[in-house]
């Protein structure tokens, strides 16, 4: 299991929150009674859901004790559940909104998991998901190159532990579930002060599977090597800051209420 650091994750909270609010703007639900945030992390995404629909019962679910401890302290009025979302959530349903922000990429067998999420919905309910879609980014290419290098080969996990799929993969899953869905990508350009901040950003997320395999000196060595790889890939702007480009994939699907009458 990955060792998550809530404080490190929240260091770039304002940047991480932008996709959450963008996803919420695409959800057309007037007054959902029950909502669940799957892979809620430290609760920042759950907080946005609760503020959008203050009358709803909102549950945050995550498998990390550390993340949930932070979430409970920040939002004591919400419900928090420690559970592995890949093990089936049917006993918790049904929900009018199933929300998941930057969590699905950590789950294997998404051809089963996404329909499981959709199956939690009440008729007319909405599944709303955001996941990173930057496997082709310079940072990820550098990470994979470094992991396969002679120096690091054998010390790090083989392959990419994060489950990335193309847009068409999710289209096919959603098309088999509902005729009412949309799918899109958005490219964000985060303004960071230095290359070190790119490494710090991923130290809290994408680097975790690698760092968890290393002792403290090994972690420092890996991060130093990553910084050396990153510097030439992200040139500084005229004011010395760095544009960290990050693409994300979104999809929103509605469970059609078959009881509703058809209209011409």
- The pLDDT tens digits for 188-247 are 999 999 999 999 999 988 888 889 889 999 999 999 999 999 999 999 999 999 999 999
Mean local confidence (pLDDT), 8-19? 88
Cβ contacts of 31 within 8 Å, gap of 6 or more: 53, 55, 56
Task: Specify the pLDDT at position 209.
Answer: 86
Task: Specify the pLDDT at position 1.
Answer: 58
Identify the burial level of 72 via C-beta atoms within 10 angstroms of its C-beta, where 0-12 means exposed, 13-18 middle and 19 or more buried: middle
By C-alpha distance, which of 205, 195, 210, 207 is closest to 152? 210
Confidence tier at 258 by pLDDT (50, 70, 90): low
Is the preceding omega at residue 212 within 30 degrees of 0, hence cis? no
Neighbouring-strand partners of residue 244: 190
Predicted confidence (pLDDT) at residue 43 exceeds the cutoff of 80: yes
Whole-model pTM?
A: 0.93
DSSP H or E segment with residue 222 = helix 216-230
Rounded-to-10 torsion of CA 145, 147, 148, 151: 110
- Residues 82-120 have pLDDT tens digits of 999 998 888 898 999 999 999 999 998 999 999 999 999
Predicted confidence (pLDDT) at residue 11 exceeds the cutoff of 90: no
Task: Specify the pLDDT at position 166.
Answer: 95
Task: Specify the pLDDT at position 263.
Answer: 45
Task: Specify the pLDDT at position 264.
Answer: 44
Mean pLDDT of the chain: 92
């Amino acid at each position: 299991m990955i060792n998550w650091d809530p404080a490190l994750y929240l260091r770039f909270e304002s940047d991480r929150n932008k996709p959450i609010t963008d996803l919420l703007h695409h959800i057309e639900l007037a007054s959902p009674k029950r909502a669940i945030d799957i892979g809620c992390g430290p609760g920042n995404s759950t907080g946005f859901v609760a503020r959008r629909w203050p009358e709803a019962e909102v549950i945050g679910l995550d498998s990390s004790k550390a993340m949930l401890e932070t979430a409970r302290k920040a939002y004591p009025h919400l419900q928090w559940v420690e559970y592995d979302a890949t093990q089936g959530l049917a006993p918790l349903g049904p929900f009018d909104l199933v929300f998941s922000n930057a969590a699905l990429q950590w789950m294997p067998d998404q051809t089963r998991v996404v329909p499981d999420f959709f199956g939690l919905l009440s008729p007319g309910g909405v599944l709303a998901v955001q996941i990173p879609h930057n496997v082709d980014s310079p940072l990820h290419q550098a990470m994979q190159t470094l992991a396969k290098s002679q120096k690091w080969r054998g010390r790090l996990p083989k392959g990419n532990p994060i489950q990335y799929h193309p847009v068409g993969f999710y289209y096919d899953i959603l098309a088999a579930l509902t005729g009412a869905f949309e799918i899109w990508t958005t490219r964000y350009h985060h303004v960071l002060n230095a290359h070190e901040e790119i490494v710090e950003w991923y130290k809290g997320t994408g680097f975790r599977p690698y760092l968890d395999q290393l002792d403290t000196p090994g972690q420092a060595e890996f991060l130093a090597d990553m910084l050396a790889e990153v510097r030439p890939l992200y040139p500084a702007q005229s004011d010395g800051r760095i544009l960290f480009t990050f693409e994300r994939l979104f999809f929103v699907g509605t469970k059609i209420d078959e009881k509703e009458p058809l209209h011409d």
